[in-house]
A and B are shown apart, each in its own frame.
Chain A
Amino acid sequence: MNQIIYEMINDQAFPTPFCPGCGHGILMNAVLRAFAELEWDLKNTLFVSGIGCAAWIPSPHFKADTLHTLHGRAIAYATGAKLFNPGLKIMVISGDGDLSSIGGNHLIHAARRNMDMTVVCANNSIYGMTGGQVASTTPLGSLTTTTPKGNLERPFDLCRLAEAAGATFVARHPVATPIPLTRTLKKAITHKGFSFVEVLSPCPTQYGRRNAFRSAFEMIQGLKSTCVSVEKAKGMSDEELAGKVVVGEFVS
C-alpha cells in the first residue's frame, strides 16, 4: 500500500467503528488512495460530513481538518467555509439519506451554483446507523425496518438528480471495483466546480441481512454482476439493462 496513506490517518481512531465488511471502509480506503496518488497535501483540504455511518469516514479517521456537522447539512457548512476561504479544497463525504433526503435541498442548490467542491455520496440504500430504515435510494421491494412488507417507493437516481441540478462532474462506481473508483475520485478531486461521485457501498448488517445477502462478499459479488459500464450499456437493449445499474462517468 502507498505508505502515504498511513500518514494520512489518525492511528488512535483505528480499528474503525464500522461493521465487518462495511462498504464505507472500502470507500475510505479508495479516497485515501486517490489523495495519496495525487500526492496531495492535506493541509488545505477540509472534509465535511453530516450524520450517519458514511459521515464517520473522514471524522475522526483522517489527519486533516474535518467538520462533522448536522444531518443533511454538510454541503451548507462547506459552502460557508469555501466562500470565506476559497483556498480550501473541500470534500464532502456523507451518506445517501443525509445528502439526498434531509439534505436534498442543499445538494441541488450547491450543484446549481456549481460550488467548487467534491461531494462523495456513500450510497448503501438504507439508514444504517439508526438500525436499517428505508431511504430515498432504497430499491423497490426491499425489506427495511420501516418497510417490513417491502418498499413501495421508487428510489432516486442520484446521478441524474445531480446532473439535472447542474453538477459539472457526475459519476458512479461501486466499491467492488476500486481501481476505476480511485481513478474517478482523482478526477473529481481535481475538477473545478461541483463534482458529485455516487459510490455504491454495501451495508451487510442492515441491508444485506434483511435482503438475503449472506455475507459482505456476496454483496460485493452482487455489485459486480449488476453494475454495467456506461460504454457497455450503450450497446445493450432495454431488456438486457433491466435490473442493472449503469456506472461510470456521466458528466465530466
Chain B
Amino acid sequence: MQYKKVKGPLAPGWYFMQGDEACAEGALAAGCRFYAGYPITPASEIMIRMVHRLPELGGAFIQMEDEIGSISAVIGAAWAGAKAMTATSGPGLSLMIEALGYAVITETPCLIVDVQRAGPSTGQATRPAQGDMMMVKWGAHGDNEIVALSPWSVQEMYDLTVKAFNFSERFRVPTFLLADEAVGHLRETLVIQEEVEVFDRVKIPGKPPFGTEEVNGVPSMPAFGEGANLLVTGSTHDPWGFRKTQDSVVQARLTERLIRKIRDFKSEVIETDSHLLEDAEIGVVAYGFTARAALAAVKTLRKQGVKAGLLRLVSIWPFADEAVAALGKRCRKIFVPEMNRGQIAGELAKFTPTPVIPLPKTNGEVIEPAEIVEGIRRNQ
C-alpha cells in the first residue's frame, strides 16, 4: 500500500505536552493543513494550537459559526484536496452527525476528534466520560462503517492521530479519535520521531471517483480544480456521481461497498494491546484513559493471586471481534470498566458466550484501579 515516510514539522526528541496539544501536532505531522472548528470544552485547546501552527506551515484555519459549519467546511476543504480535521466534544458531535453521514456516502477522508465529556447533553463540561463510543458508529442514519481509535496517553494522542488520518485517506472515510477530557487535558512526556509514516489518498485520472469494479474497493479521489468535473452528492449515486435515487441495483451496490471496503480489510485497522493475558482466567477489557487504571488493577490482582489479564482496545471500530472471542475462550469471566453505562460491554457480549460483566462509572470522575479490583473481586 502507498505508505511513505515524511519528515514531521517538529524536531525529533522528548516533549512535555498536554494531550490536546499532542493531538494537534500529530495531525500536522500526518499532513493536516486545514482546520475548521468551534470552541467547546474540553477540545478548544486543539483549535488554539492549530490557529498558531497552521499559518506557520502554510495551512488554513477558520473558527466557524457553529459545529455544523465546522464539519461542513472540513468536508469542503477535503474535496479541495486537504487533509482536514475538526475537534469537538459530545454536544458538538451531536450537531455534526448529519454531516458525518454525508462524509460516509461521499467517501470524504477527514478526521473528527471527540474529547468526550460527561453527558448526556450539556452535562459536566469539564469532567471526563467515555459516553460517545456507540454514537460515532450508529449516530448517523443508515448503515455506517467508520474507523475510531482510543488513545490512553499523550503519546497516543499524537501517534493515533497520525494513524487516524492515514486510515481516513486509505479507506476514504471519516475517522474518529475518541479521546476524553482526562487524556485530553493530561500533561505527559512523549517522544516525537524525525519521520512519520503517512498515507495519501489515491488519485488515478480517468477512473470513476465514486465506484469501483471490486465490490469492496476504494475509488480514486481527485480534487476540485483539476478538470475532473466532479459530481459530489449526498444522494445515492453511480460511480461517476450521477444521482440514482430510483435505481435499486445502484443502491444495493453502493451500500454494500461502503461497508465492505473497510470491514473486509479490518485487520489493517484493528489494534489491541495485551497485558498478562497468556494464562489469564479473568479478562479485563478496557480502552482510553480507563485502561491505565485497568492495567494497574490487573497487576494488583495478580499480586493477590488472581490470574487477571488486560486486553486494551486501541481501535474501537471496526470492533476487535476475534480478539474478544479468543479472550472469551481463555477466560471464565470478562470485566469491562468504562466511563459509560456499558456501551462496549454490550458489544463484547455479541462475540463471546463467556459472561461479560460491565463495571460502569458515570459520576464524571475517572475510574480508579481500586474500584476495578473491588468490582472484580466482588463478582469473581
Chain A directly contacts chain B within the complex, with at least one CB pair under 8 Å? yes
Inter-chain pairs besides A76-B76, A80-B73, A85-B223, 13 sampled, C-beta below 8 Å: A46-B225, A66-B229, A76-B72, A77-B73, A77-B75, A78-B76, A79-B64, A79-B76, A80-B76, A81-B77, A84-B77, A84-B80, A85-B225
Query: Could you give, for residues 201-244 of chain B, a 1 whenever the CB lies within 8 Å of some chain A CB and a 0 otherwise?
Result: 00000000000000000000001110111111111000001110
Query: Could you give, for residues 73-102 of chain B, a 1 whenever the CB lies within 8 Å of some chain A CB and a 0 otherwise?
Result: 111111111101000000000000011001
Q: Is A80's CB under 8 angstroms from B34's CB?
A: yes
**In the complex, A105 has a CB within 8 A of chain B:** yes
Q: Is A84's CB under 8 angstroms from B60's CB?
A: yes
Assembled-state Cα–Cα distance A70/B34 (Å): 21
Selected from B36, B73, B228, the residue in CB contact (under 8 A) with A65 is B228
Selected from B66, B68, B81, B242, the residue in CB contact (under 8 A) with A13 is B242
**In the complex, B69 has a CB within 8 A of chain A:** yes
Assembled-state Cα–Cα distance A78/B241 (Å): 19
Assembled-state Cα–Cα distance A60/B244 (Å): 11
**In the complex, A123 has a CB within 8 A of chain B:** no
Assembled-state Cα–Cα distance A85/B77 (Å): 8
Q: Is A65's CB under 8 angstroms from B230's CB?
A: yes
Q: Is B231's CB under 8 angstroms from A59's CB?
A: yes
Number of chain A residues close to chain B: CB under 8 A = 33
Q: Is A48's CB under 8 angstroms from B65's CB?
A: no
| Residues 325-370 of B contacting A (Cβ, < 8 Å) | none
Selected from A46, A66, A68, A105, the residue in CB contact (under 8 A) with B69 is A105
Assembled-state Cα–Cα distance A67/B99 (Å): 14
Selected from B73, B82, B229, the residue in CB contact (under 8 A) with A76 is B73
**In the complex, B276 has a CB within 8 A of chain A:** no
Q: Is B242's CB under 8 angstroms from A105's CB?
A: no
Closest 6 CB pairs of A and B: A80-B73, A80-B76, A76-B72, A77-B76, A80-B77, A68-B233
Q: Is A106's CB under 8 angstroms from B99's CB?
A: no
CB proximity of B222 to chain A, nearest CB, Å: 9
Known: A69-B72, A70-B99, A88-B225. A80 touches B231 (CB 8 A): no
Q: Is B232's CB under 8 angstroms from A66's CB?
A: yes
Q: Which residues of B contact A67 (CB under 8 A)?
A: 76, 79, 224, 230, 232
**In the complex, B33 has a CB within 8 A of chain A:** yes
Q: Is A79's CB under 8 angstroms from B68's CB?
A: no
Known: A66-B231, A68-B232, A70-B98. A88 touches B224 (CB 8 A): yes
Q: Which residues of A contact B102 (CB under 8 A)?
A: 69-70
Q: Is B225's CB under 8 angstroms from A87's CB?
A: yes
Known: A76-B64, A84-B82, A87-B225. A68 touches B74 (CB 8 A): no
CB proximity of A14 to chain B, nearest CB, Å: 12
Q: Is B227's CB under 8 angstroms from A83's CB?
A: no
Assembled-state Cα–Cα distance A44/B225 (Å): 5
State which size class the interface on B falls in.
35 or more
Q: Is A69's CB under 8 angstroms from B73's CB?
A: no
A48, A65, A79 pick with most chain B CB within 10 angstroms: A65
**In the complex, B259 has a CB within 8 A of chain A:** no
B68, B73, B224, B229 pick with most chain A CB within 10 angstroms: B224
Q: Is B72's CB under 8 angstroms from A70's CB?
A: yes
Q: Is B224's CB under 8 angstroms from A65's CB?
A: yes
**In the complex, A186 has a CB within 8 A of chain B:** no
CB proximity of B57 to chain A, nearest CB, Å: 13
Assembled-state Cα–Cα distance A84/B74 (Å): 10
Assembled-state Cα–Cα distance A83/B81 (Å): 11
Assembled-state Cα–Cα distance A237/B215 (Å): 68
Q: Which residues of B contact A70 (CB under 8 A)?
A: 72, 98-99, 102, 234
- Which residue of A is nearest B234, CB measured? A70
**In the complex, B277 has a CB within 8 A of chain A:** no
28 intermolecular pairs with C-beta atoms under 8 Å apart: A43-B225, A44-B225, A59-B233, A60-B242, A66-B229, A66-B231, A66-B232, A67-B79, A67-B232, A68-B232, A68-B243, A69-B75, A73-B99, A76-B76, A79-B36, A79-B64, A79-B73, A80-B34, A80-B62, A80-B72, A80-B74, A83-B34, A83-B36, A83-B62, A84-B84, A85-B223, A87-B225, A105-B66
Q: Is A85's CB under 8 angstroms from B232's CB?
A: no
Q: Which residues of B contact A83 (CB under 8 A)?
A: 34, 36, 60, 62, 73, 77
Q: Is A81's CB under 8 angstroms from B224's CB?
A: yes
CB proximity of A134 to chain B, nearest CB, Å: 23
Assembled-state Cα–Cα distance A219/B79 (Å): 39
Q: Is B225's CB under 8 angstroms from A69's CB?
A: no
CB proximity of B300 to chain A, nearest CB, Å: 49
Assembled-state Cα–Cα distance A82/B36 (Å): 12
Assembled-state Cα–Cα distance A84/B232 (Å): 17
- Which residue of A is nearest B233, CB measured? A68
- Which residue of A is nearest B69, CB measured? A76
Query: Could you give, for residues 43-77 of chain B, a 1 whenever the CB lies within 8 Å of some chain A CB and a 0 otherwise?
Result: 00000000000000000101011101100111111
Q: Which residues of B contact A69 (CB under 8 A)?
A: 72, 75-76, 102, 234
Q: Which residues of B contact A78 (CB under 8 A)?
A: 76
CB proximity of B187 to chain A, nearest CB, Å: 32
Q: Which residues of B contact A44 (CB under 8 A)?
A: 225
Assembled-state Cα–Cα distance A80/B73 (Å): 4
- Which residue of A is nearest B101, CB measured? A70
Assembled-state Cα–Cα distance A76/B63 (Å): 11
Q: Which residues of B contact A109 (CB under 8 A)?
A: 64-65, 69
Known: A67-B79, A76-B76, A79-B62. A84 touches B231 (CB 8 A): no
- Which residue of A is nearest B78, CB measured? A80
| Residues 28-71 of A contacting B (Cβ, < 8 Å) | 43-44, 46, 48, 59-60, 63-70
Q: Which residues of A contact B81 (CB under 8 A)?
A: 84-85
CB proximity of B243 to chain A, nearest CB, Å: 6
Assembled-state Cα–Cα distance A88/B243 (Å): 24
